[in-house]
Protein backbone atom coordinates (compact mmCIF):
# COMPACT_ATOMS: atom_id res chain seq x y z
CA UNK A 1 0.00 0.00 0.00
CA UNK A 2 1.37 3.43 -0.98
CA UNK A 3 0.11 5.61 1.85
CA UNK A 4 -0.05 9.38 1.53
CA UNK A 5 1.25 11.48 4.42
CA UNK A 6 -1.72 12.52 6.57
CA UNK A 7 -2.28 16.18 5.71
CA UNK A 8 1.37 17.10 6.18
CA UNK A 9 1.24 16.16 9.87
CA UNK A 10 3.92 13.88 11.29
CA UNK A 11 1.81 11.90 13.73
CA UNK A 12 4.83 9.94 14.94
CA UNK A 13 6.72 13.12 15.84
CA UNK A 14 3.67 14.37 17.71
CA UNK A 15 3.61 11.20 19.80
CA UNK A 16 7.34 11.42 20.44
CA UNK A 17 7.00 14.95 21.85
CA UNK A 18 5.16 13.47 24.85
CA UNK A 19 1.93 15.37 24.17
CA UNK A 20 -0.03 12.13 24.13
CA UNK A 21 0.87 11.08 27.68
CA UNK A 22 0.33 7.42 26.97
CA UNK A 23 -3.14 7.81 25.46
CA UNK A 24 -4.14 4.52 23.83
CA UNK A 25 -6.73 6.32 21.70
CA UNK A 26 -4.14 8.74 20.27
CA UNK A 27 -1.69 5.95 19.55
CA UNK A 28 -4.36 3.90 17.78
CA UNK A 29 -5.43 6.91 15.69
CA UNK A 30 -1.82 7.67 14.78
CA UNK A 31 -1.24 4.08 13.71
CA UNK A 32 -4.33 4.27 11.52
CA UNK A 33 -3.11 7.48 9.86
CA UNK A 34 0.37 6.07 9.26
CA UNK A 35 -1.12 3.05 7.52
CA UNK A 36 -4.02 4.63 5.64
CA UNK A 37 -2.83 8.16 4.88
CA UNK A 38 -5.26 10.38 3.06
CA UNK A 39 -8.22 8.73 1.29
CA UNK A 40 -7.36 7.55 -2.20
CA UNK A 41 -9.45 6.63 -5.21
CA UNK A 42 -11.33 3.49 -4.32
CA UNK A 43 -12.10 4.51 -0.73
CA UNK A 44 -15.90 4.40 -0.93
CA UNK A 45 -16.63 6.90 1.85
CA UNK A 46 -14.46 9.49 0.05
CA UNK A 47 -15.47 8.58 -3.49
CA UNK A 48 -16.45 12.14 -4.46
CA UNK A 49 -14.12 14.21 -2.26
CA UNK A 50 -10.35 14.25 -2.73
CA UNK A 51 -7.82 15.46 -0.15
CA UNK A 52 -4.80 14.92 -2.39
CA UNK A 53 -4.21 18.68 -2.71
CA UNK A 54 -3.38 18.76 1.01
CA UNK A 55 -0.87 15.92 1.02
CA UNK A 56 2.20 18.09 0.41
CA UNK A 57 1.19 20.94 2.73
CA UNK A 58 3.21 21.30 5.94
CA UNK A 59 0.63 22.83 8.25
CA UNK A 60 2.13 24.58 11.26
CA UNK A 61 0.61 24.32 14.71
CA UNK A 62 -1.83 27.19 15.29
CA UNK A 63 -1.30 29.74 18.03
CA UNK A 64 -3.67 32.25 19.57
CA UNK A 65 -1.17 35.06 18.97
CA UNK A 66 -2.92 36.78 16.06
CA UNK A 67 -3.94 40.33 15.24
CA UNK A 68 -6.70 41.15 17.77
CA UNK A 69 -8.40 43.59 15.41
CA UNK A 70 -8.87 40.81 12.84
CA UNK A 71 -10.30 38.48 15.48
CA UNK A 72 -12.66 41.18 16.76
CA UNK A 73 -13.87 41.95 13.24
CA UNK A 74 -14.61 38.29 12.53
CA UNK A 75 -16.34 37.86 15.88
CA UNK A 76 -18.46 40.96 15.21
CA UNK A 77 -19.44 39.46 11.86
CA UNK A 78 -20.52 36.24 13.55
CA UNK A 79 -22.49 38.05 16.23
CA UNK A 80 -24.23 40.30 13.70
CA UNK A 81 -25.34 37.36 11.59
CA UNK A 82 -26.34 35.29 14.63
CA UNK A 83 -28.92 37.85 15.70
CA UNK A 84 -28.69 36.61 19.30
CA UNK A 85 -27.86 40.00 20.78
CA UNK A 86 -24.70 41.48 22.28
CA UNK A 87 -25.37 40.05 25.75
CA UNK A 88 -25.98 36.46 24.64
CA UNK A 89 -23.76 33.79 26.19
CA UNK A 90 -20.90 32.80 23.95
CA UNK A 91 -17.84 30.58 23.98
CA UNK A 92 -15.05 31.74 21.66
CA UNK A 93 -12.18 29.76 20.20
CA UNK A 94 -9.39 31.42 18.20
CA UNK A 95 -7.28 29.08 16.09
CA UNK A 96 -8.63 26.23 18.18
CA UNK A 97 -7.67 27.81 21.53
CA UNK A 98 -10.25 28.86 24.13
CA UNK A 99 -10.42 32.68 24.37
CA UNK A 100 -11.60 33.44 27.89
CA UNK A 101 -11.44 37.22 27.43
CA UNK A 102 -13.89 37.21 24.53
CA UNK A 103 -16.22 34.57 25.99
CA UNK A 104 -19.33 35.11 28.13
CA UNK A 105 -19.95 31.79 29.80
CA UNK A 106 -23.55 30.62 30.30
CA UNK A 107 -25.02 30.03 33.74
CA UNK A 108 -26.75 26.89 34.96
CA UNK A 109 -24.44 24.55 33.01
CA UNK A 110 -21.04 22.99 33.65
CA UNK A 111 -18.39 24.46 31.35
CA UNK A 112 -14.79 23.40 30.99
CA UNK A 113 -12.25 22.88 28.18
CA UNK A 114 -10.55 19.92 26.62
CA UNK A 115 -7.19 21.54 27.43
CA UNK A 116 -8.12 21.51 31.12
CA UNK A 117 -9.57 18.00 31.21
CA UNK A 118 -7.39 16.40 28.53
CA UNK A 119 -9.36 13.19 28.15
CA UNK A 120 -10.62 11.23 25.17
CA UNK A 121 -13.56 8.93 25.89
CA UNK A 122 -14.09 5.40 24.67
CA UNK A 123 -17.39 6.06 22.86
CA UNK A 124 -15.75 7.06 19.55
CA UNK A 125 -13.56 4.75 17.50
CA UNK A 126 -10.32 6.77 17.10
CA UNK A 127 -9.51 4.89 13.89
CA UNK A 128 -12.98 4.96 12.38
CA UNK A 129 -12.28 7.58 9.72
CA UNK A 130 -9.64 10.11 8.68
CA UNK A 131 -11.27 13.19 10.17
CA UNK A 132 -11.86 11.47 13.52
CA UNK A 133 -8.35 10.01 13.62
CA UNK A 134 -6.68 13.30 12.72
CA UNK A 135 -8.57 15.11 15.46
CA UNK A 136 -7.83 12.36 17.98
CA UNK A 137 -4.10 12.65 17.35
CA UNK A 138 -3.89 16.45 17.35
CA UNK A 139 -6.71 17.76 19.58
CA UNK A 140 -5.44 20.16 22.21
CA UNK A 141 -8.49 22.23 23.20
CA UNK A 142 -12.24 22.46 22.79
CA UNK A 143 -15.49 23.04 24.65
CA UNK A 144 -16.66 20.66 27.37
CA UNK A 145 -20.28 21.46 28.20
CA UNK A 146 -22.77 19.57 30.37
CA UNK A 147 -26.42 20.57 30.66
CA UNK A 148 -27.63 19.16 34.01
CA UNK A 149 -30.74 17.04 34.36
CA UNK A 150 -33.97 18.96 33.82
CA UNK A 151 -32.25 22.28 33.03
CA UNK A 152 -33.24 24.44 30.07
CA UNK A 153 -29.92 26.09 29.24
CA UNK A 154 -31.34 28.46 26.62
CA UNK A 155 -29.26 29.45 23.60
CA UNK A 156 -25.46 29.48 23.39
CA UNK A 157 -23.15 30.76 20.63
CA UNK A 158 -20.04 28.69 19.94
CA UNK A 159 -17.79 30.91 17.80
CA UNK A 160 -14.75 29.41 16.08
CA UNK A 161 -12.38 31.90 14.44
CA UNK A 162 -9.41 30.97 12.27
CA UNK A 163 -6.67 33.39 11.22
CA UNK A 164 -3.61 32.36 9.20
CA UNK A 165 -1.17 35.21 8.65
CA UNK A 166 2.18 35.66 6.95
CA UNK A 167 1.51 33.09 4.28
CA UNK A 168 2.09 30.18 6.67
CA UNK A 169 -0.68 27.53 6.56
CA UNK A 170 -1.84 26.36 9.98
CA UNK A 171 -4.11 23.64 11.30
CA UNK A 172 -6.18 23.37 14.45
CA UNK A 173 -8.28 20.49 15.73
CA UNK A 174 -10.75 21.44 18.48
CA UNK A 175 -12.55 18.60 20.25
CA UNK A 176 -15.95 19.64 21.61
CA UNK A 177 -17.88 17.49 24.07
CA UNK A 178 -21.56 18.32 24.63
CA UNK A 179 -23.72 16.34 27.05
CA UNK A 180 -27.42 17.00 27.62
CA UNK A 181 -28.52 15.04 30.66
CA UNK A 182 -31.98 13.57 31.25
CA UNK A 183 -34.71 16.08 30.42
CA UNK A 184 -32.23 18.90 29.71
CA UNK A 185 -32.46 21.32 26.78
CA UNK A 186 -29.96 23.39 24.83
CA UNK A 187 -29.98 25.42 21.61
CA UNK A 188 -26.45 25.68 20.23
CA UNK A 189 -25.52 28.02 17.38
CA UNK A 190 -22.11 26.91 16.17
CA UNK A 191 -20.48 29.39 13.78
CA UNK A 192 -17.06 29.21 12.10
CA UNK A 193 -15.42 32.12 10.26
CA UNK A 194 -11.90 33.12 9.34
CA UNK A 195 -9.34 34.26 6.83
CA UNK A 196 -6.20 32.82 5.28
CA UNK A 197 -5.13 29.28 4.37
CA UNK A 198 -5.75 26.89 7.24
CA UNK A 199 -7.22 23.51 8.07
CA UNK A 200 -10.02 23.49 10.64
CA UNK A 201 -10.77 19.95 11.82
CA UNK A 202 -13.35 20.05 14.66
CA UNK A 203 -14.84 16.95 16.27
CA UNK A 204 -18.14 17.02 18.19
CA UNK A 205 -18.74 14.33 20.80
CA UNK A 206 -22.47 14.60 21.54
CA UNK A 207 -24.57 12.71 24.07
CA UNK A 208 -28.31 13.29 24.55
CA UNK A 209 -29.73 11.40 27.52
CA UNK A 210 -33.31 10.17 27.92
CA UNK A 211 -35.83 12.93 27.25
CA UNK A 212 -33.05 15.42 26.47
CA UNK A 213 -33.28 17.90 23.61
CA UNK A 214 -30.33 19.40 21.73
CA UNK A 215 -30.86 21.76 18.81
CA UNK A 216 -27.53 22.24 17.03
CA UNK A 217 -27.17 24.62 14.09
CA UNK A 218 -23.75 24.77 12.42
CA UNK A 219 -22.97 27.77 10.20
CA UNK A 220 -19.73 27.51 8.21
CA UNK A 221 -18.72 30.84 6.63
CA UNK A 222 -14.94 30.46 6.61
CA UNK A 223 -12.71 32.24 4.12
CA UNK A 224 -12.30 31.05 0.55
CA UNK A 225 -8.79 29.68 1.21
CA UNK A 226 -9.80 27.58 4.20
CA UNK A 227 -10.30 23.82 4.40
CA UNK A 228 -12.98 22.62 6.81
CA UNK A 229 -13.15 18.93 7.78
CA UNK A 230 -15.64 18.34 10.60
CA UNK A 231 -17.14 15.24 12.15
CA UNK A 232 -19.97 14.83 14.68
CA UNK A 233 -20.53 11.67 16.71
CA UNK A 234 -23.94 11.68 18.43
CA UNK A 235 -25.62 9.15 20.71
CA UNK A 236 -29.30 9.66 21.51
CA UNK A 237 -31.06 7.78 24.31
CA UNK A 238 -34.75 6.96 24.93
CA UNK A 239 -37.14 9.76 23.90
CA UNK A 240 -34.18 12.08 23.30
CA UNK A 241 -33.87 14.38 20.30
CA UNK A 242 -30.79 15.61 18.47
CA UNK A 243 -31.99 18.21 15.97
CA UNK A 244 -29.02 19.22 13.82
CA UNK A 245 -28.63 21.53 10.85
CA UNK A 246 -25.48 22.31 8.84
CA UNK A 247 -25.34 25.41 6.63
CA UNK A 248 -22.26 25.49 4.40
CA UNK A 249 -21.33 28.75 2.69
CA UNK A 250 -17.58 29.11 3.06
CA UNK A 251 -14.20 27.38 2.57
CA UNK A 252 -12.69 26.18 -0.67
CA UNK A 253 -13.06 22.56 0.47
CA UNK A 254 -15.41 21.41 3.20
CA UNK A 255 -16.80 18.15 4.49
CA UNK A 256 -19.03 17.55 7.49
CA UNK A 257 -19.74 14.02 8.60
CA UNK A 258 -22.47 13.07 11.07
CA UNK A 259 -22.43 9.67 12.73
CA UNK A 260 -25.59 9.34 14.81
CA UNK A 261 -26.69 6.28 16.80
CA UNK A 262 -30.23 5.90 18.18
CA UNK A 263 -29.52 3.76 21.22
CA UNK A 264 -32.92 3.33 22.90
CA UNK A 265 -36.65 3.27 22.18
CA UNK A 266 -38.27 6.45 20.82
CA UNK A 267 -34.97 8.23 20.23
CA UNK A 268 -35.07 10.74 17.38
CA UNK A 269 -32.48 12.45 15.20
CA UNK A 270 -32.73 15.12 12.49
CA UNK A 271 -29.68 15.58 10.24
CA UNK A 272 -30.71 18.41 7.92
CA UNK A 273 -28.62 20.88 5.98
CA UNK A 274 -27.99 23.17 3.04
CA UNK A 275 -24.97 23.98 0.89
CA UNK A 276 -24.77 27.29 -0.99
CA UNK A 277 -21.64 27.09 -3.11
CA UNK A 278 -20.17 29.32 -5.82
CA UNK A 279 -17.00 29.58 -7.88
CA UNK A 280 -14.90 26.43 -7.50
CA UNK A 281 -16.04 25.55 -3.99
CA UNK A 282 -16.39 21.89 -3.01
CA UNK A 283 -18.83 20.95 -0.23
CA UNK A 284 -19.57 17.47 1.12
CA UNK A 285 -22.28 16.48 3.61
CA UNK A 286 -21.97 12.84 4.66
CA UNK A 287 -24.03 11.00 7.26
CA UNK A 288 -24.43 7.55 8.78
CA UNK A 289 -27.55 7.15 10.94
CA UNK A 290 -27.74 3.89 12.86
CA UNK A 291 -31.03 2.66 14.28
CA UNK A 292 -29.82 0.39 17.09
CA UNK A 293 -33.12 0.17 19.00
CA UNK A 294 -36.83 -0.31 18.17
CA UNK A 295 -39.36 2.44 17.49
CA UNK A 296 -36.93 5.25 16.62
CA UNK A 297 -37.19 8.07 14.08
CA UNK A 298 -34.64 9.68 11.79
CA UNK A 299 -35.19 12.53 9.35
CA UNK A 300 -32.75 14.00 6.85
CA UNK A 301 -33.31 16.66 4.21
CA UNK A 302 -30.36 18.32 2.46
CA UNK A 303 -30.62 21.00 -0.24
CA UNK A 304 -27.86 22.35 -2.47
CA UNK A 305 -27.69 25.56 -4.48
CA UNK A 306 -24.65 25.42 -6.79
CA UNK A 307 -23.38 28.02 -9.25
CA UNK A 308 -20.17 28.58 -11.21
CA UNK A 309 -18.07 25.42 -11.14
CA UNK A 310 -19.09 24.45 -7.61
CA UNK A 311 -19.24 20.78 -6.68
CA UNK A 312 -21.66 19.48 -4.05
CA UNK A 313 -21.66 16.02 -2.50
CA UNK A 314 -24.31 14.27 -0.44
CA UNK A 315 -23.77 10.80 1.01
CA UNK A 316 -26.42 9.61 3.43
CA UNK A 317 -26.78 6.14 4.90
CA UNK A 318 -29.54 4.78 7.14
CA UNK A 319 -28.48 1.54 8.85
CA UNK A 320 -31.21 -0.44 10.62
CA UNK A 321 -30.09 -3.17 13.02
CA UNK A 322 -32.04 -6.43 13.27
CA UNK A 323 -33.38 -5.38 16.67
CA UNK A 324 -34.65 -2.03 15.39
CA UNK A 325 -38.23 -2.98 14.50
CA UNK A 326 -40.76 -0.15 13.94
CA UNK A 327 -37.99 2.06 12.52
CA UNK A 328 -39.16 5.21 10.74
CA UNK A 329 -36.41 6.65 8.56
CA UNK A 330 -36.65 9.34 5.87
CA UNK A 331 -33.94 10.85 3.68
CA UNK A 332 -34.08 13.35 0.81
CA UNK A 333 -31.44 15.27 -1.11
CA UNK A 334 -32.28 18.01 -3.62
CA UNK A 335 -29.98 20.13 -5.76
CA UNK A 336 -30.55 23.31 -7.74
CA UNK A 337 -27.89 23.85 -10.42
CA UNK A 338 -27.54 27.47 -11.53
CA UNK A 339 -24.91 26.89 -14.21
CA UNK A 340 -23.92 24.24 -16.72
CA UNK A 341 -20.58 23.74 -14.95
CA UNK A 342 -22.00 23.10 -11.47
CA UNK A 343 -22.03 19.46 -10.34
CA UNK A 344 -23.75 17.37 -7.66
CA UNK A 345 -22.99 13.80 -6.61
CA UNK A 346 -25.64 12.13 -4.46
CA UNK A 347 -25.50 8.70 -2.88
CA UNK A 348 -28.42 7.91 -0.55
CA UNK A 349 -28.31 4.44 1.00
CA UNK A 350 -30.54 2.12 3.04
CA UNK A 351 -29.08 -0.90 4.84
CA UNK A 352 -31.93 -2.71 6.60
CA UNK A 353 -31.77 -5.90 8.68
CA UNK A 354 -35.20 -5.58 10.36
CA UNK A 355 -38.45 -6.59 8.67
CA UNK A 356 -40.97 -4.16 10.22
CA UNK A 357 -39.75 -0.75 9.13
CA UNK A 358 -40.79 2.36 7.21
CA UNK A 359 -37.78 3.75 5.37
CA UNK A 360 -37.44 5.85 2.23
CA UNK A 361 -34.85 7.90 0.42
CA UNK A 362 -34.65 9.98 -2.71
CA UNK A 363 -32.74 12.58 -4.69
CA UNK A 364 -33.65 15.24 -7.25
CA UNK A 365 -31.50 17.50 -9.43
CA UNK A 366 -32.68 20.36 -11.61
CA UNK A 367 -32.36 23.95 -12.76
CA UNK A 368 -34.62 26.94 -12.14
CA UNK A 369 -38.03 26.44 -13.71
CA UNK A 370 -38.23 28.59 -16.83
CA UNK A 371 -42.03 28.74 -16.66
CA UNK A 372 -41.90 30.08 -13.13
CA UNK A 373 -39.26 32.63 -14.14
CA UNK A 374 -41.41 33.71 -17.09
CA UNK A 375 -44.45 34.07 -14.82
CA UNK A 376 -42.58 36.35 -12.43
CA UNK A 377 -41.01 38.37 -15.27
CA UNK A 378 -44.43 38.85 -16.85
CA UNK A 379 -45.54 40.52 -13.59
CA UNK A 380 -42.85 43.18 -13.93
CA UNK A 381 -40.25 41.49 -11.71
CA UNK A 382 -36.66 41.76 -12.91
CA UNK A 383 -34.72 38.63 -13.82
CA UNK A 384 -32.34 38.82 -10.85
CA UNK A 385 -35.17 39.36 -8.38
CA UNK A 386 -37.19 36.54 -9.94
CA UNK A 387 -34.26 34.15 -9.59
CA UNK A 388 -33.79 35.28 -6.01
CA UNK A 389 -37.44 34.59 -5.18
CA UNK A 390 -37.28 31.06 -6.60
CA UNK A 391 -34.00 30.19 -4.89
CA UNK A 392 -35.20 31.45 -1.52
CA UNK A 393 -38.41 29.47 -1.91
CA UNK A 394 -36.32 26.38 -2.65
CA UNK A 395 -34.30 26.91 0.56
CA UNK A 396 -37.18 27.95 2.79
CA UNK A 397 -38.52 24.45 3.38
CA UNK A 398 -35.23 23.04 4.65
CA UNK A 399 -34.35 26.01 6.90
CA UNK A 400 -37.85 25.82 8.34
CA UNK A 401 -37.17 22.27 9.55
CA UNK A 402 -35.07 23.34 12.53
CA UNK A 403 -37.33 23.37 15.56
CA UNK A 404 -35.77 26.18 17.64
CA UNK A 405 -37.05 29.56 16.47
CA UNK A 406 -33.91 31.42 17.62
CA UNK A 407 -31.69 29.16 15.54
CA UNK A 408 -34.10 29.32 12.61
CA UNK A 409 -33.96 33.13 12.67
CA UNK A 410 -30.16 33.01 12.79
CA UNK A 411 -29.97 30.73 9.76
CA UNK A 412 -32.30 32.99 7.81
CA UNK A 413 -30.11 35.99 8.67
CA UNK A 414 -27.04 34.12 7.49
CA UNK A 415 -28.65 33.18 4.18
CA UNK A 416 -29.79 36.78 3.71
CA UNK A 417 -26.26 38.06 4.37
CA UNK A 418 -24.80 35.57 1.89
CA UNK A 419 -27.33 36.56 -0.74
CA UNK A 420 -26.38 40.24 -0.46
CA UNK A 421 -22.68 39.39 -0.99
CA UNK A 422 -23.06 36.96 -3.87
CA UNK A 423 -24.26 37.65 -7.38
CA UNK A 424 -25.74 34.42 -8.67
**Average pLDDT of 235-251?**
97
**410, 80 in Cβ contact below 8 A?**
no
Q: How far apart are CA 308 and CA 157, in angstroms?
A: 32
Q: Is 330 exposed, middle or buried (0-12, 13-18, 19+ CB in 10 A)?
A: middle
pLDDT tens track for 167-188: 899 999 999 999 999 999 999 9
**Residue from 197, 187, 12 nearest 109 by CA:** 187
Q: What is the pTM of this model?
A: 0.93
Q: How far apart are CA 285 and CA 230, in angstroms?
A: 10
Per-residue pLDDT at 145 exceeds 60: yes
Residue-level pLDDT at 321? 97
Asked whether residue 163 is domain-assigned, the answer is yes
pLDDT tens track for 322-356: 999 999 999 999 999 999 999 999 999 999 999 99
Asked whether residue 83 is domain-assigned, the answer is yes
**250, 149 in Cβ contact below 8 A?**
no
**Residue from 30, 28, 25, 3 nearest 14 by CA:** 30
Asked whether residue 75 is domain-assigned, the answer is yes
The 8-class DSSP code of residue 189 comes to E
Asked whether residue 352 is domain-assigned, the answer is yes
Q: Tell me the C-alpha to C-alpha distance, in Å, between residue 178 and each of 135, 232, 237.
A: 16, 11, 14
**315, 347 in Cβ contact below 8 A?**
yes
Asked whether residue 391 is domain-assigned, the answer is no
The domain total for the chain is 1
Asked whether residue 141 is domain-assigned, the answer is yes
Asked whether residue 39 is domain-assigned, the answer is no
Residue of 367 and 119 predicted with greater confidence: 367
Contacts from 71-79 at CB under 8 Å and sequence distance 24+?
71/99, 71/102, 71/161, 71/163, 72/102, 74/161, 74/163, 74/193, 74/194, 74/195, 75/102, 75/159, 75/161, 77/193, 77/221, 78/157, 78/159, 78/161, 78/191, 78/193, 78/221, 79/157, 79/159
Residue-level pLDDT at 415? 87
Enclosing domain of residue 90:
55-367
**358, 328 in Cβ contact below 8 A?**
yes
pLDDT tens track for 286-299: 999 999 999 999 99
Asked whether residue 130 is domain-assigned, the answer is yes
pLDDT tens track for 5-59: 444 333 343 333 335 455 788 888 888 888 877 787 678 899 999 887 787 788 8
Amino acid sequence: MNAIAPVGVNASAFLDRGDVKGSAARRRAADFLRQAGLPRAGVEAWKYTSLRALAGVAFAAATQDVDPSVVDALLAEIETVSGLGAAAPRVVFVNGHFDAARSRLPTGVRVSTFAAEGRIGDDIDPAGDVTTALNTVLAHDGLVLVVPEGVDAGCLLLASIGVAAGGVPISFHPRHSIVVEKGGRLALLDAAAGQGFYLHNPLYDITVAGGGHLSHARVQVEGQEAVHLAVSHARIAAAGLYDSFTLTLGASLSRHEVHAVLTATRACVHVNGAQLLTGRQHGDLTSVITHAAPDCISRQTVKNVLSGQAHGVFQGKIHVDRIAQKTDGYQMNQALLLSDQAEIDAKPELEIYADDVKCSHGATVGALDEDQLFYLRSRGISGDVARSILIRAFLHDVVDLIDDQRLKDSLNLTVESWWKREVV
